[in-house]
Amino acid sequence: MSDTMIFRDRTEAGALVAEKLGHYAGRDDVVVLALPRGGVVNGFEIAKRLNCRLDIIIVRKIGFPGQPELAIGAVAETGAVVLNENVISTSRVSDKYIKEETANQKDEIARRKDLYRGGKGILPLEGKTVILVDDGVATGATMKAAIAALKEEKIKRLVVALPVAPVEAEESIGTMVDEWICLQTPPGFMAVGGYYEDFTQVSDDEVVEMLRRAQHGK
């Protein structure tokens, strides 16, 4: 693990990712889309340094029964649902559970949409280059649902930009997008928080404040 980079915090990680995205700086057709909540800190820093617009795409994991942190799928605010059919069939997760949990997560998405954007949807993305960011990827279920949603939005180009991800993510997610940028894919991948000195949970209020500041160019 000696070559592994440990980020001070999400702001530093975002700044380092932004260095790899200089070719998108100052372009009117570029939008940075962050996955809340943690990814919004990274996205705020990236959008600020590239002088691009910042928005969020709200995606919620569909958790394994009794283990909500283990994703068996995800649902996006646009309605796109991505399921891990291998895990579902192997573990015999019922259709009833999946439908109920998907409905629960859609309720939570509606709550967050109201909280973060006053109930409004994502800004218009047709013809845009979208840089999709997060503070890192573990299973990739959330990121894949976001990608599936964005592919229905007639965007021009889709870039995924991350500080850290497992090597398998490069193979599974990198092939779904036009450009894959990841600062490191360390062997023996730990939880995303293991690559940060400060991985404090980001609050809803902080997300709202960063979106407000980004909108007003502060």
Tens-digit pLDDT profile for residues 13-43: 999 999 999 999 999 999 999 999 999 999 9
- pLDDT reading at 160 higher than 80: yes
126 φ, ψ (degrees, to nearest 5): -60, 130
Q: What is the pLDDT of residues 109-150, one digit of tens each?
A: 999 999 999 999 898 999 999 999 999 998 888 899 999 999
Could you give the CA distance from residue 62 to residue 93 in angstroms, rounded to a whole number? 12
- pLDDT reading at 1 higher than 70: no
Residue 218: its pLDDT value, please? 62
- pLDDT reading at 2 higher than 50: no
This prediction has a pTM of 0.91
Q: Residue 62: is it exposed, middle or buried by C-beta count within 10 angstroms (0-12/13-18/19+)?
A: buried
- Neighbour count for residue 57 (Cβ, 10 Å): 25
Structural domains in the chain, CATH included, are 10-57+118-215 (3.40.50.2020), 61-116 (3.30.1310.20)
Q: Where are the alpha helices (DSSP H) in the chain?
A: 10-19, 38-50, 85-91, 95-117, 141-150, 167-172, 204-215
Percent of the chain at pLDDT exceeding 90: 81
- Range scoring the smallest mean pLDDT among 34-38, 79-83, 209-213: 79-83
The arrangement of strands across the sheet holding 179-184 comes to 53-56, 30-34, 129-133, 157-164, 179-184
Residue 139: its pLDDT value, please? 83
Average pLDDT over residues 153-173: 95
Phi-psi region of 67 (alpha: psi -120 to 50; beta: other; left: phi over 0): beta
